[in-house]
Amino acid sequence: MYSFSESTFKWPKKSITYSIENTSPDLPRRDAERAIKKAFDTWSKVVPLDFSEVSSGSDITIRFASQYHNDPWPFDGRGGTLAHATFPPNGQLHFDEDEQWTYKNADEIMNGATDLYAVAIHESGHTLGLDHSRDESSIMAPFYHQTVDENGRYITPELTSGDIDKIQKLYGSRGGISSTFSRVKSFFHGFGR
């Protein structure tokens, strides 16, 4: 069952650390690190939070696991739940190892792999205090967004104005970037398509 409530959970500080305990054998560790860093950076562009990877003692612990993995939410094998995360200050983000993971590779995605970056943006939103959104275009919608277009090209996931509004309600804006800017950018970016 999905929840759509407004979260009141947030980090009480502006510098947040994360550690990656392990990665999937489906992709090189550096690709997993890039996808996860890029996901946190996506949020950091619109709120005054800074993220850094550390080897231990992190605020957010990230790992790949399968089935029962010492938390109350076991994974269900390939094709079901892709990942889950906890709200602050708990700081857990788990990806289902039974999925086939890739990073921004359109060919692999078209052949059934899951884009780690797209899932990491969504799940990192939960680790920052965001719940699911009813807006189907939102990064925080409770389902996976396909990241390949009808021509087989990779589509970089982007925050919607609703995503930006919700995260800025929790943390404020970074340097004047607001959802109004995002709406204008999205309008012109999509013009003529």
Q: What is the DSSP string of 90-147?
A: T-EEEEETTSPEESS-HHHHHTT-EEHHHHHHHHHHHHTT----S-TTSTTSSSPPP-
| C-beta separation of 39 from 158 below 8 A | no
Active-site position among 6, 53, 97, 123: 123
d(CA 157, CA 187): 16
99 is in an annotated binding site: yes
Query: Catalytic residue at 123?
Result: yes
59 is in an annotated binding site: yes
Is it true that the peptide bond before 12 is cis, omega within 30 degrees of 0? no
Cα dihedral 34, 37, 41, 47 in deg (nearest 10)? 170
108 is in an annotated binding site: no
96 is in an annotated binding site: yes
94 is in an annotated binding site: yes
126 is in an annotated binding site: yes
189 is in an annotated binding site: no
Residues contributing to the annotated binding site for Zn(2+): 69, 71, 84, 94, 122, 126, 132, 140
Residues contributing to the annotated binding site for Ca(2+): 26, 59, 76-77, 96, 99
- The residues annotated with a catalytic role in the active site are 123
Residues contributing to the annotated binding site: 26, 59, 69, 71, 76-77, 84, 94, 96, 99, 122, 126, 132, 140
